[in-house]
Structure 1
């Protein structure tokens, strides 16, 4: 289902911020496809909600890959945007945790993954290496296995760096690509075209109020269908 102002799932909103639960297939910002981006849909939602006579201000703070779901945060004021940009760049006051379903393989219950990623722009893909390569960027994340399913592992991931397709490339390098992620070696696609990567929680210091803010995004059906009978306590 395409996102519209009418079915937009707002997770949090105040005078300065709005957080959306992004659906698979949505693009956060306009690209060469010409598809309507989530940023424009949120603007239309704000114009209608507050009866604004003109365009609504909205600043894009960060992005998610098109097939990824979960929390996307936008700034509603020019005062909040630069502060959020700085916080996300340094990661000192921002913690983003992702949930992913990866193909089952024997890996430690928790750990740190460190790779060097080389981006291939023509393929829109990143390749992960154990050692530094020309034009590579260091990529680091920590993970914890939350549950073991019949064919998949549910893992929680904390990104310590923000690289192109980082989670997808690093877990593919382990031999356990994300469910539905054909680009990185999954055996089959998901019916809705998604990959099982979900921006689950976002914790940050509010840029204006300077108070801790925690946002959690409900899981999409691509997760729930596998998880609801097994780990309902986690949902």
Structure 2
């Protein structure tokens, strides 16, 4: 189940898209990012979302030449859910400014092992990324290269040794949710990098971009993209109604 508030505007092209479109007009394209696709081209050489979206728009609108598609925010390769892209450089610039000025809202749903110590709380840590290993660790405040990471969490429910959490991401650090929750001994279901001791190889990480909210770069209207995870394990431990109520 996915949705968009307010209603989508503009032409969505003459053909059908290979992606689930949450919002589209002349300035923006909001989609449900499929899991296990890199957002940008990486060392694997696998097809990346940005290139696929350009080709998709080119085909649907019969556009000659190159298609512009601006990347405003990122999701880790194994993570799925709502993403917004800019179809013009002006829209990209204005959305990027919304990100910098903290007018860009990001809400995630995740399933973790165990249960956090409180029903809701704020996690504040300093994170340091090792680019060589593509891993992030929690370090002491003031550590050279360390960046402050802040998130708010709310426990939506617990079942079968797992908890469903709503995450309001207040800073956008690499692997932030995964590292910070592992830091309170609640690693994400399926996360091999930060929860290898409790997860099995091949499990899909249970982290989903549920809400992306921002002022429209042209109309200034507050816009929200909403996406609910697929009803596969462990998401299916909670109904889609409960998940949707949690983020609205």
TM-score by length of 1: 0.90
Q: Compute the RMSD of aligned alpha carbons.
A: 1.8
Report the Cα offset of residue 6 of structure 1.
5.1
- After superposition, give the CA deviation of every residue in 1:8-48 in whole Å (9 maximum; x if it has no partner): 11111111000111121111111111111101111111111
- Candidates 15, 40, 48, aligned match of 1:37: 48
Aligned-partner Cα distance in 2 for 1:39–1:216: 20
Aligned-partner Cα distance in 2 for 1:106–1:147: 11
**Secondary structure of 1:79 counterpart:** helix
Task: Say whether residues 1:233 and 2:245 are aligned partners.
Answer: no
**For structure 2, which runs of at least 5 residues remain unmatched after alignment?**
1-15
Go from structure 1 to structure 2 and tell me whether the alpha carbon gap of 1:40 and 1:63 turns closer, same or farther (over 3 Å shift): same
- Would you say how many aligned residue pairs link Structure 1 and Structure 2? 227
The answer (yes or no) to whether the contact 1:110–1:145 under 8 Å persists in 2 is yes
Task: Say whether residues 1:142 and 2:152 are aligned partners.
Answer: yes
Aligned to 2:64: 53
Aligned to 1:26: 37
Task: Say whether residues 1:114 and 2:118 are aligned partners.
Answer: no
Report the Cα offset of residue 76 of structure 1.
0.5
Aligned-partner Cα distance in 1 for 2:76–2:167: 16
The answer (yes or no) to whether the contact 1:178–1:195 under 8 Å persists in 2 is yes
Go from structure 1 to structure 2 and tell me whether the alpha carbon gap of 1:190 and 1:133 turns closer, same or farther (over 3 Å shift): same
- After superposition, give the CA deviation of every residue in 1:95-127 in whole Å (9 maximum; x if it has no partner): 110111011135100010011111112221111
**For structure 1, which runs of at least 5 residues remain unmatched after alignment?**
none
Aligned-partner Cα distance in 2 for 1:106–1:34: 38
Flag as ranges the 4+ runs of structure 1 deviating above 6 A: none
TM-score by length of 2: 0.85
**Secondary structure of 1:183 counterpart:** coil
Report the Cα offset of residue 65 of structure 1.
0.4
Report the Cα offset of residue 55 of structure 1.
2.1
Aligned-partner Cα distance in 2 for 1:194–1:85: 30
The answer (yes or no) to whether the contact 1:179–1:190 under 8 Å persists in 2 is no
The answer (yes or no) to whether the contact 1:178–1:197 under 8 Å persists in 2 is yes
The answer (yes or no) to whether the contact 1:190–1:222 under 8 Å persists in 2 is no
Aligned to 2:75: 64
Report the Cα offset of residue 227 of structure 1.
2.3
Question: Which is worse superposed, 45-54 or 213-222?
Answer: 213-222
The answer (yes or no) to whether the contact 2:115–2:158 under 8 Å persists in 1 is no
- Candidates 127, 130, 133, aligned match of 1:123: 133
- Candidates 166, 169, 188, aligned match of 1:156: 166
